[in-house]
Amino acid sequence: MATQETTSAPATEQPPSGGGFSRRTLFQGAGAGLAVGAAGGVLARGATVPEQHAAPSLGAARIEFQGPHQAGIVQPPQARVQLAAFDLAPNAGRAGLQALLKLWSQTAARLAVGEPAGTHENQIALDAGPSSLTVTVGFGATLFDKVGLADRRPAQLNPLPAFPLDAIDRSRSDGDLWVQIGADDALVAFHALRVLQQQAAPAAAVRWQMAGFARSPGATAKPMTGRNLMGQVDGTNNPKPTDPDFAAKIFATGPDWMAGGSYVVLRRIRMLLDDWENLSTDRQERFIGRRKSDGAPLSGGTETTPVDLTKQNPDGTLAIPADAHIRVAAPTANGGAAMLRRGFSYADGVLPDGSPDAGLLFLAFQADPARGFVPVQQKLARGDGLSRFLRHEASGLYAVPRGVQGGEGYLGQALLEG
Amino acid sequence: MATQETTSAPATEQPPSGGGFSRRTLFQGAGAGLAVGAAGGVLARGATVPEQHAAPSLGAARIEFQGPHQAGIVQPPQARVQLAAFDLAPNAGRAGLQALLKLWSQTAARLAVGEPAGTHENQIALDAGPSSLTVTVGFGATLFDKVGLADRRPAQLNPLPAFPLDAIDRSRSDGDLWVQIGADDALVAFHALRVLQQQAAPAAAVRWQMAGFARSPGATAKPMTGRNLMGQVDGTNNPKPTDPDFAAKIFATGPDWMAGGSYVVLRRIRMLLDDWENLSTDRQERFIGRRKSDGAPLSGGTETTPVDLTKQNPDGTLAIPADAHIRVAAPTANGGAAMLRRGFSYADGVLPDGSPDAGLLFLAFQADPARGFVPVQQKLARGDGLSRFLRHEASGLYAVPRGVQGGEGYLGQALLEG
């Protein structure tokens, strides 16, 4: 059986699965943009496509739902994302949550292979393939009290501290349940959201919803790290599934039901693009610490050259300035803190003052936020020159239970029945 | 030279252009979703890609800027659209508008072939190809007064009448200048918007902005008419560039500067999806007049079978009900009124009441709105059963001048210098 561990490992091939029909799995590392098959076709990343002469297509690409970890963590961002939080109805209780998670798990599995889900009445994306759809579900801290499981709420879900410069709108933050839907087709992603929403009623209702995007597969001539709306290469130093300590950094080992799970931090980060674009390229690059053109660190080399934080310019100044983003965020400056970033851009029109309502839907997965997002953000909010061009406007922290596999029937089963 | 007329003609091939390097042009009819090359690769539609063994890719696909008509009219919708209206500053005058249109025309031409435009400071989509980018520019009725050309404002720009059920927000409607940016990569589209916006200052500022989406190339196994967020096949009976009267219906013949131009109507139409999805499929289909699964008319056949409005069910009722959308909107019911629809879906989260802020960015091009959108919408707003599930929340009408070709240097030159 293909697992997400193996389907996400770069540059490795595995034999056809023992499933209903033979498939070939195409591999690609996190952060890369596309995989090009032998026939020159453009294929979605980290995805399985039918073997045997079938024209490779974006629509046919699929990502396995089952596995030790949920789908939508180690795979690079799809072209489109829908994020939503749901709040449980007061009378839903543990039984209501259980029924909902069963339904969502079935739906996620069906949609991942292109089978219809939901009622016929709300079919939207008929005739499209799964388009690398993933559905990822998380539990907010508030969920546990509501279903009588307060004593099993992990300490990792303790509220994030307030950070300097935060401007958090709580109505677009938090939530009992969190869903991340990624797909390379916008209609497929929207349809999945509508089905999950319909299935949630009346046990749970949408608290907030956000849409984002990343590069379309094939937009660049070769696989590239993505760029954010500041135009900067973003994600170069992301942990890779091939790193020896990847699993230890990203996946939790316990409690029982979270073994193989992860904790995701969401931040809706508006970028003050009007101010940013008024800076010279040189100034932009020194705020980041990397060249805009190719993402190479200002200490020299290419995008993937290790950053040399001690490197000096001929005039004795630091090549990577003291307040550069990559210096302040460096794992070495944060006790080895690491997280797997899986961000999407958003662009939701203009605000009343005429500035763009646009920026980054920052998502980061980690084994423990106290050794990932929290220490890094505490430093960034104080010392990062980039911070003055950013506004954190929404925030969330969710426990993403392990994937469905083996004898388990649905996401969160070990919590609800354990 | 490839022109938009020819590049948009379905199932026709043309010899390599005499341009700087040899290209092969791939063709596809309006409304279709993708073209698959001989190598099985997925290619953007209506687009030119480098010949010679180069792997076909979404990013490399390009749509010619020059031509008798502007790009972004006859080509099927790209995966992503950014729409924006700009208002001219009081002191910009005709000279300011002229400088702006020169700059925008140069920029549109450069971005269409993947060359950088704007300052380096606001580069965002570095390393992506043009991804079938098109930039389409229109003039609102209010523009003409502001630049001393009130006497040259075409009668076709007379305000649209108010329609029953309209709920128009004027702050998201109208505007002196209108821009439609389409691309198969969201970052490419957003970057183009930012460049145009930066170049507009201080002569013009954004009045409103909206983002939308259509199918990603390759999402369906074969080319399909698109679906809207109601899940319905939408655009089946769109005029086709091969229709003998296509040009007469869609493109204006005058006045001078509008010969080859078109008039575009924009309606932001919110769909009451919660209500819609509570209907049975049967009821949904009778509101539309077509089967949901494949778009076939309820009078029988397949999607492309001509609609038989007289067909009766065994019980004597009309197969296509009296208030069905396709009956009320039929050209035969509206004196032959026709328009080229080029709609995109939008999904902007949830409204304060919890319902989705989602629907259709309806765009329709026509030679004369009085023989296109206006008579059809007058009938629809009264007699169309579908209307109760729709809210028209924004509206615009713009003169889209002819394309840049031959001796002309920029969009609107014949108006401003004529």
Evaluate whether residue A165 is within a structural domain: yes
Distance from CA of B31 to the nearest CA of A (A): 15
A285 part of contact set with chain B, CB < 8 Å: no
In a domain, B258, yes or no: yes
- Backbone torsion region of residue A55, taken as left when φ is above 0, otherwise alpha when ψ lies between -120 and 50, otherwise beta: beta
- What residues of B act catalytically? 234
Q: Determine whether the interchain pair A206/B42 forms a contact, defined as Cβ–Cβ distance below 8 Å.
A: no
Within 10 A of B127 (CB to CB), how many other CB atoms are there? 21
Q: How far is B406 from chain A, CA to nearest CA, in Å?
A: 31
Of the candidates B404, B346, B416, the residue with the CA atom closest to the CA atom of residue B1? B404
CB distance B231–A348 less than 8 Å? no
> Could A59 and B198 be called an inter-chain contact, meaning their C-beta atoms sit closer than 8 Å?
no
| pLDDT reading at B66 higher than 70 | yes
The answer to the question of residue A11 being in a domain is: no
d(CA B119, nearest CA chain A) in Å: 9
| Interface size between A and B, measured as CB pairs under 8 A | 225
Query: Best-predicted range by mean pLDDT among A354-358, B8-12, B37-41, B50-54?
Result: A354-358
- pLDDT exceeds 60 at position B6: no
B276 — alpha (psi -120 to 50), left (phi > 0) or beta? alpha
More confident residue, A40 or A231: A231
- Give the domain extent around A219: 23-40+57-417
Per CB-CB distance under 8 Å, the chain A contacts of B188 are 219
The predicted model gives A162-170 an average pLDDT of: 95
Nearest residue, CB atoms, A59 vs list B122, B198, B221: B221
Q: Is B187–A345 a contact, with Cβ atoms under 8 angstroms apart? A: yes
- Please state, in angstroms and as integers, the Cα–Cα distance from residue A3 to each residue in A8, A50, A131, A261, A393, following that order: 8, 16, 18, 14, 36
Answer yes or no: is A15 within a domain: no
Tell me the average pLDDT across B139-165: 96
> Which is more confident, A54 or A341?
A341
Using a CB-CB cut-off of 8 Å, the residues of chain B touching A42 are 41-42, 55-58, 218
**CA nearest neighbour of A393 among A171, A156, A157, A137:** A171
Per-residue confidence (pLDDT) for residue A13, from 0 to 100: 31
A393 contacts on B by Cβ (under 8 Å): none
Q: Inter-chain contact B227–A127, Cβ cutoff 8 Å?
A: yes
Q: Is the pLDDT of residue B181 over 70?
A: yes
Residue A127 lies in a domain: yes
CB contact (8 A) between residue B128 and residue A220: yes
Assigned token pair, B76: 């099927």
Q: B122 and A277: CB-CB below 8 Å?
A: yes
What DSSP line would sit under B239-294, residue for residue?
--TTSTTHHHHHS---SGGGTT-EEEEEEEEEE-HHHHTTS-HHHHHHHHTB-TTT
Q: Mean of the pLDDT values across residues A92-117? A: 96
**Residue B336 — very low, low, confident or very high, per pLDDT cuts 50/70/90?**
confident
Mean predicted lDDT score pLDDT of chain B: 86
pLDDT digits (tens, 9 = 90+) for A353-412: 989 999 999 999 999 999 999 999 999 998 899 999 999 999 999 999 999 998 789 999
Out of B129, B293, B358, closest to residue A221 by CB:
B129
Phi, psi of B297 (to 5 degrees): -65, 150
Is A406 among the domain residues?
yes
Write out the catalytic residue numbers of A.
234
What's residue B262's pLDDT?
98
Tell me, what's the pLDDT at B127?
A: 85
- Residue A51 is predicted with a pLDDT of 35
Nearest to A295 by CA among A226, A222, A380: A226
Task: Please write the tens of the pLDDT for every residue from A114-160.
Answer: 998 877 666 777 788 999 999 999 999 999 999 999 999 999 999 99
**Mean pLDDT value of segment A287-305:** 95
Which residues lie closer than 8 Å to A290 by C-beta, 6 or more apart? A232, A233, A236, A296, A297, A298, A303, A326
Candidates A39, A58, A120; nearest CB to B218: A58
- Cα separations in angstroms, A333 against A265, A337, B303, B412: 20, 8, 61, 56
Q: Is residue B248 part of a domain?
A: yes
Q: pLDDT band at residue B56, thresholds of 50, 70 and 90? A: low
Mean pLDDT of chain A: 86
Q: Where are the beta strands (DSSP E) in A65-133?
A: 80-88
Q: In whole angstroms, how far apart are CA B185 and each of B101, B255, B325? A: 25, 36, 33
**Range B291-319 average pLDDT:** 95
SS3 B23: strand
Chain B hits for A281, CB-CB cut-off 8 Å, are 120-121
Kindly give, in sequence order, each residue whose CB lies less than 8 Å from that of residue B117, ignoring residues fewer than 6 positions away: B106, B107, B110, B111, B195
Taking CB atoms and an 8 Å limit, are A227 and B127 in contact across chains? Answer: yes
Determine contact: A344 vs chain B, CB below 8 A.
Answer: no
pLDDT, position A360:
98
User: Cβ of A284 and B229 within 8 Å?
Assistant: no
Residues B359 and B390: beta-carbon distance below 8 Å = yes
In-domain check, residue A299: yes
Query: Out of A163-172, A220-229, A235-244, B261-270, which region has the weakest mean confidence (pLDDT)?
Result: A220-229
Residue of B nearest to A281 (CA): B121
Q: What is the DSSP string of B49-107?
A: EE-TTPPP-TTT-B--S-SSS-SSSSSPP-SEEEEEEEEE-TTTHHHHHHHHHHHHHHH
Domain count, chain B: 1
Q: How many Å apart are CA A8 and CA B355, to the nearest integer? A: 36
Per residue in B192-227, pLDDT tens? 999 999 999 999 999 999 999 999 999 998 878 899
Q: Compute the average pLDDT of residues A39-68.
A: 58
- Residue A351's φ and ψ, nearest 5 degrees, are -80, 165
Confidence at residue A364, expressed as pLDDT on a 0 to 100 scale:
98
Confidence of residue B121 (pLDDT cuts 50, 70, 90): low
Asked if A108 and A200 count as a contact pair (C-beta separation under 8 A), the reply is no
- pLDDT top residue among B16 and B235: B235
Cα B281 to Cα A55: distance, rounded to the nearest angstrom = 33
Q: Does B201 touch chain A (CB under 8 A)?
A: no
Categorize the per-residue pLDDT at B341 as very low, low, confident or very high, splitting at 50, 70 and 90: very high
